């Protein structure tokens, strides 16, 4: 991934290139500009490899990165595109760079590589180091990154890529240190706090307010679907796991939702289109939301799974929908727990599992606290900061 391509200097990709006058020079990591002409409301450019592209005048004016149009320190946009531009500017290729002299006297310069990557007639041309999501195949095995590699940039980057791609990644050979999970998470960003705190201990507790704090088995679930925005990423760091049982289970909720769509489209549609209530209550909190179990994006692909049978609230649906809803729920439950879609392993002390809580469901087998101790420490992170961290490391 060439990041210099987004800017002649060291500009992050989401911002504009540092194109202040005189800062640009010809690039050798992309085809050169050979011709530029203003035609009507556009500028047409030709690159040395024969590609031709069109850019609307207002778009170019809006993306001027001079010190007047972009704040020279924050690099944020100052220009506001409120005026139509109908008078054709003078256009030239000046030292390899597209130079535009607007009729009001303003001058803009565009780096050819920056322009090329943002061709409006070529979809998805903006460079982005984020990996595409990949559904778990039958033989899916999570990536494992050693703790000491994670502490170096390269391992952390691999860890981030696997987590964004697969929705689950393992870290191994970590220290048995209290709060190690917070230190690791803190490299990525501030911990996402919830009503269970910013960092929580998972072990059998005397007065549990949550099934996780008992020793019972936990069927597959997502955490906190009763929040409007449930935590994106969950980290669980194993400090002790000597008790009999307590193996961890996971399923790729998006892959299983697709399998449901395939095998029972009616059940899929019902879970995607029917909002239901989720609610958590204890002495201090009462957090509730109404949302469907499978939320789809604008293209009809799964965007988020909310699945947690403990905190499903009263099912408030029209009488004639209730039985069909239960049938659809049962069908999804069965598919999720089908061994074909389930990943199961025991976390060893010093291992940490991280997963996308809005895609991947997690659970655990019951354990017997009389046979030994089991202690995990957990926290949550925001996906935005994971993506941010990966873009920063990829610069």
252 binds Fe ion (CB under 5 A): no
Question: How many amino acids of this chain bind Fe ion (CB under 5 A)?
Answer: 1
Closer CB to Fe ion, 166 or 223, in the complex: 223
> Among all residues, whose Cβ is closest to Fe ion?
223
Closer CB to ligand AKG, 201 or 313, in the complex: 201
Residue 352 binds which of ligand AKG, Fe ion, Zn ion, none (CB < 5-8 A, kind-dependent): none
Question: How many amino acids of this chain bind ligand AKG (CB under 6 A)?
Answer: 9
Binding mask 348-377 for ligand AKG (x = CB under 6 A): --------------x-x-----------x-
Quote the Cα angle for 89-95-100, to 5°.
10
User: How many C-beta neighbours within 10 Å does residue 190 have?
Assistant: 11
Residues 6+ apart with CB under 8 A from 205: 213, 214
Would you state the structure tokens that stand for residue 171, as one six-digit string?
Answer: 């870290």
Q: How far is the CB of 360 from ligand AKG (least distance, A)?
A: 12
Site residues for ligand AKG, 42-81, by CB under 6 A, read none
CA distance 321 to 204: 38
CA distance 279 to 181: 28
Work out which of 378, 380, 386, 391 binds ligand AKG, going by CB under 6 A.
Answer: 378
224 binds ligand AKG (CB under 6 A): no
CA 256 to chain centre: 19
Closer CB to Fe ion, 67 or 343, in the complex: 343
Site residues for ligand AKG, 229-248, by CB under 6 A, read 248
Closer CB to Zn ion, 64 or 238, in the complex: 64
304 binds Fe ion (CB under 5 A): no
223 binds Fe ion (CB under 5 A): yes
Would you state the structure tokens that stand for residue 235, as one six-digit string?
Answer: 């980290």
Closer CB to Fe ion, 118 or 365, in the complex: 365
CA distance 278 to 106: 56
Pairing of strands 233-241, 374-381: antiparallel
Closer CB to Fe ion, 69 or 236, in the complex: 236
Q: How far is the CB of 223 from Fe ion (least distance, A)?
A: 4
Closer CB to Fe ion, 33 or 169, in the complex: 169
DSSP-assigned letters across all residues of 280-312: EE-SS-EEEEEE-SEEE-TTS-EEEE---GGGB
CA distance 250 to 357: 11
Residue 202 binds which of Zn ion, ligand AKG, Fe ion, none (CB < 5-8 A, kind-dependent): ligand AKG
Site residues for ligand AKG, 168-207, by CB under 6 A, read 202
Residues 91/98, Cβ–Cβ less than 8 Å: yes
CA distance 35 to 24: 18
Would you state the structure tokens that stand for residue 372, as one six-digit string?
Answer: 């030994």
Q: How far is the CB of 41 from Zn ion (least distance, A)?
A: 19
3-class secondary-structure state, position 319: helix
CA 279 to chain centre: 25
Picking from 328, 308, 317, the residue whose alpha carbon sits closest to that of residue 227 is 308
218 binds ligand AKG (CB under 6 A): yes
Q: How far is the CB of 345 from ligand AKG (least distance, A)?
A: 11
Picking from 220, 169, 202, the residue whose alpha carbon sits closest to that of residue 362 is 220
Residue 69 binds which of ligand AKG, Zn ion, Fe ion, none (CB < 5-8 A, kind-dependent): Zn ion
Site residues for ligand AKG, 247-276, by CB under 6 A, read 248
Q: How far is the CB of 341 from Fe ion (least distance, A)?
A: 18
Q: How far is the CB of 238 from ligand AKG (least distance, A)?
A: 8
Site residues for Zn ion, 18-77, by CB under 5 A, read 64, 66, 68-69
Kind and range of the H or E element at 90?
Answer: strand 90-94
E-strand ranges in 324-382 read: 342-345, 352-356, 360-364, 367-368, 374-381
Q: Which residues bind ligand AKG (CB under 6 A)?
A: 202, 212, 218, 223, 248, 362, 364, 376, 378
Q: Which residues bind Zn ion (CB under 5 A)?
A: 64, 66, 68-69
Q: Which residues bind Fe ion (CB under 5 A)?
A: 223
């Amino acid at each position: 991934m060439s990041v210099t391509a987004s800017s002649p200097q060291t500009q992050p990709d989401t911002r504009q290139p540092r194109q202040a006058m005189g800062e640009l020079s010809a690039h050798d990591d992309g085809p050169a500009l050979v011709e530029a002409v203003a035609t009507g409301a556009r500028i047409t450019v030709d690159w040395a490899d024969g590609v031709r592209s069109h850019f609307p005048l207002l778009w170019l004016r809006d993306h001027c990165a001079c010190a007047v149009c972009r704040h020279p320190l924050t690099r944020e946009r100052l220009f506001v595109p409120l005026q139509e531009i109908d008078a054709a500017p003078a256009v030239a290729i000046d030292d390899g760079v597209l130079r535009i002299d607007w009729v009001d006297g303003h001058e803009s310069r565009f780096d050819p590589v920056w322009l090329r990557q943002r061709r409006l007639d070529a979809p998805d041309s903006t460079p982005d180091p984020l990996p595409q999501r990949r559904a778990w195949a039958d033989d899916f095995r999570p990536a494992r990154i050693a703790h000491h590699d994670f502490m170096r940039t390269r391992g952390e980057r691999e860890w981030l890529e696997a987590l964004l791609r697969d929705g689950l990644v393992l870290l191994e050979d970590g220290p048995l240190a209290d709060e190690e999970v917070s230190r690791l998470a803190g490299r990525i960003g501030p911990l996402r706090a919830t009503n269970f705190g910013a960092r929580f201990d998972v072990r059998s507790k005397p007065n549990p307010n949550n099934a996780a704090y008992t020793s019972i088995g936990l069927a597959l679930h997502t955490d906190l679907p009763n929040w409007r925005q449930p935590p994106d990423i969950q980290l669980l760091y194993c400090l002790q796991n000597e008790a009999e049982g307590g193996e961890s289970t996971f399923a790729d909720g998006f892959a299983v939702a697709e399998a449901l769509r395939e095998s029972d489209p009616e059940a899929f549609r019902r879970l995607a289109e029917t909002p239901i209530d989720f609610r958590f209550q204890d002495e201090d909190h009462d957090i509730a939301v109404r949302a469907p179990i499978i939320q789809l994006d604008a293209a009809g692909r799964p965007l988020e799974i909310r699945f947690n049978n403990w905190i499903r609230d009263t099912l408030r649906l029209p009488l004639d929908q209730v039985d069909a809803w239960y049938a659809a729920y049962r069908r999804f439950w069965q598919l999720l727990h089908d061994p074909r879609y389930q990943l199961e392993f025991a976390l060893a002390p010093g291992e940490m599992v991280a997963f996308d809580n809005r895609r991947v469901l997690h659970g655990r087998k019951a354990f017997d606290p009389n046979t030994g101790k089991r202690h995990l420490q957990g926290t949550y992170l925001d996906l935005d900061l994971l993506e941010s961290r990966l873009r920063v490391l990829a610069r």
